[in-house]
Chain A
């Protein structure tokens, strides 16, 4: 299972263009949908924890998922797997390909890939909503969160704390009535 985990995260690491969230659809597909190693609920928790800890989100996600599947050893294997492709690729780029960074074909390929990645990430939102039984009200709150981040440029951790506390307070008030 550790080898399988390593190979999956090698794949995740090799195809994560554009930051941590781009790896969500692939982790979701491989670990949640195909293998069923972790449940969708726990997958959502992984995002909370990954955002609340310092360090690259991509690595935090790998550590959480690996840990959920096979403990500390799983965390180690998954993070190694997701680091290795960028490590090797950067070394190759620095040594041999640095001069091609303004190449037109490379540029055109990325013009095609970036909107696809945006589409993939949005489909991760859709899948999370469906499996987590989240309705339109939750989506609306999500969109509101997005607008707040866009306009005010707030660090996500404050929004996470606000959302969580709001829910706890509402629960306490409901219980007292």
Chain B
């Protein structure tokens, strides 16, 4: 029973969280308070902090975290599956539609018009991440150097992150 409840909670979360990440926090809070009032408000703030320090999307991290708190490892697995399921179904439908109709001129034009918007969305993604780092010359140098090396010198993205982490531990 508890697993079914978890499954439904996170299915709902996966289905109604458009725009990813932070958009779903309010929804998560509501869901947790309604169904699991014994989970402290502070834990929702904690999961945000943990999400920043660990890889993966906030939705997955939150599903794993709260699923575990409510129903152990099995609860974590159920919740994580539930939060991904709507994406999986809807994405497959969208992919089917886009492949079927992308040869149509109207659809092609539509996608063409969206391209600069996507550039903007990616830039705002960079801004959202950059905002969390301290605003000083060290950050600017790491930012600029990473951009330069990866864009023009074919430097590996994962190595860039590892080096930046080591640099952070040394210079701060």
Chain A residue contacts of B2, Cβ below 8 A:
none
Main secondary structure of the interface of A (DSSP, over half): helix
Chain A residue contacts of B111, Cβ below 8 A:
44-45, 48, 164
Chain A residue contacts of B119, Cβ below 8 A:
125, 128-129, 134, 138-139, 141-142, 145
A contacts with B, residue count (CB < 8 A): 102
Residue of A nearest to B59 (CB): A56
Distance to closest chain B CB from A99 (angstroms): 11
A29 and B113 contacting across the interface, CB-CB below 8 Å: no
Chain A residue contacts of B15, Cβ below 8 A:
54-55
B120 and A146 contacting across the interface, CB-CB below 8 Å: yes
Chain B residue contacts of A142, Cβ below 8 A:
116-120, 122-123
A106 to B52, CA, bound (A): 11
**Using an 8 Å CB-CB cutoff, how does the interface string of A55-93 with B read, 1 for contact, 0 for none?**
111111001100110001001100100110111011101
- Among A101, A117, A166, the one with the most B-chain Cβ atoms within 10 Å of its Cβ is A117
The tally of CB-CB contacts under 8 A between chains A and B is 366
B68 and A150 contacting across the interface, CB-CB below 8 Å: no
From the candidates A24, A52, A86, A120, name the one contacting B61 in the complex (CB within 8 A). A86
From the candidates B77, B88, B122, B133, name the one contacting A111 in the complex (CB within 8 A). B133
Distance to closest chain A CB from B44 (angstroms): 14
A118 and B126 contacting across the interface, CB-CB below 8 Å: yes
Chain A residue contacts of B34, Cβ below 8 A:
none
**Using an 8 Å CB-CB cutoff, how does the interface string of A111-128 with B read, 1 for contact, 0 for none?**
111111111111111111
A115 and B142 contacting across the interface, CB-CB below 8 Å: yes
A174 to B140, CA, bound (A): 44
Q: A13-B56, A19-B128, A108-B169 are in contact. Are A113 and B151 (CB under 8 A)?
A: no
Residue of A nearest to B105 (CB): A171
B contacts with A, residue count (CB < 8 A): 94
A138 to B105, CA, bound (A): 20
Chain A CB within 8 A of B39 CB = no
A96 to B141, CA, bound (A): 35
Chain B CB within 8 A of A37 CB = no
A55 and B83 contacting across the interface, CB-CB below 8 Å: yes
- Other than the given A91-B76, A111-B133, A134-B119, 15 more pairs (CB < 8 A) read A11-B158, A14-B55, A45-B102, A63-B91, A94-B69, A109-B166, A111-B138, A114-B129, A118-B126, A122-B123, A125-B123, A126-B151, A129-B119, A142-B123, A149-B121
A and B contact pairs by CB, cutoff 8 A, 16 listed: A21-B129, A24-B122, A55-B14, A55-B17, A56-B84, A87-B64, A91-B64, A108-B168, A117-B130, A118-B129, A119-B145, A121-B123, A142-B122, A143-B120, A155-B18, A155-B19
Q: A interface vs B, CB < 8 Å?
A: 11, 13-22, 24-26, 29, 44-45, 47-60, 63-64, 67-68, 72, 75-76, 79, 82-83, 85-87, 89-91, 93-94, 98, 101, 105-106, 108-129, 132, 134, 138-139, 141-146, 148-150, 155-157, 159-160, 162-168, 170-171
The 10 tightest CB contacts between A and B, nearest first, are A112-B168, A167-B113, A86-B56, A145-B120, A21-B125, A55-B87, A142-B119, A119-B146, A116-B164, A118-B130
